[in-house]
Amino acid sequence: MSIPAAYTPRADLLAGRTILVTGAGSGLGRATALGAAKCGATVILLGRTTKKLEAVFDEIEAAGGPQAAILPLNLVSATWADLFEVAEMIEREFGKLDGLVHCAAHFPGFTPMTEEKPKDWMDGLQVNLTAAYSLTRHCLPLMQQTRDASIVFVTDAVAREPKALRGSYGVAKYALEGLVKSWSQELTVSPGLRMNSYDPGAMQTPLRAKGYVSEEVQKLPEAAIAAPGLIWLLGPDSAGVNGQALSRP
């Protein structure tokens, strides 16, 4: 299933909504945060590097969007308690959460399974799968209180067609697809709450540059090209879409 072709969100699509974006400091996370703010959302910027988050914060402010919030957190070392505290902070400071987009990712580069370093394996599963699951689980009660809440896991082509040399990254993304298919069925008891996965396609991002030479990456479209798809999934235009594996048109 693909996002509607040439989708352009209206300026007030996410007005009044609070959206949490992980990996918001760069790449697709940054593009999504900027796009959501442009559509009126209050964006919570979660990422590892404070300086990068501050830059996104400043861009949102300069564009006249609702004031964003900065939440520095290294998902590699984040514990169950740390992620629970994130959910508590959101409830305490914002009182609600309408959207959660998992853009954060860990990919050290193409590596055979037999050669991936133990730390890279553990970090990959932690960031790409475990932390995403844990954060979602902790935020779920808060999101169930809203009429129309959306959870989106950003995946990859290897999640739907596994390929060699992707290591823990490929394994985690493949597992996320299964998580979405099963968990979304459980969420049918919560009308208005939906969960989907989204493959943004090849983009010009720091993550992709780790696996391909920079000259090739520079020829790809910028991450902003994939942001409208995530905005569609976060807003009312995609109401009723649940448990789907979507792709950029």
7 is annotated as an active-site residue: no
**Per the residue annotation, which of 7, 133, 169, 174 is the catalytic one?**
169
Nearest Cα to 151, choosing from 114, 111, 97, 82?
97
CA 143/CA 125 separation, integer angstroms: 25
Q: Do residues 247 and 198 touch, judged by C-beta distance below 8 A? A: yes
Nearest Cα to 36, choosing from 246, 232, 205?
232
CA 112/CA 170 separation, integer angstroms: 11
Q: Residue 144 CA to chain centroid, in angstroms?
A: 19
CA 87/CA 65 separation, integer angstroms: 23
Please give the structure tokens belonging to residue 222. Answer: 């910028």
Nearest Cα to 52, choosing from 108, 103, 116, 96?
103
CA 246/CA 98 separation, integer angstroms: 20
> How many angstroms separate the first and last alpha carbons of the chain?
9
Burial of residue 191 (number of CB atoms within 10 Å: 0-12, 13-18, 19+)? exposed
User: Catalytic amino acids?
Assistant: 169
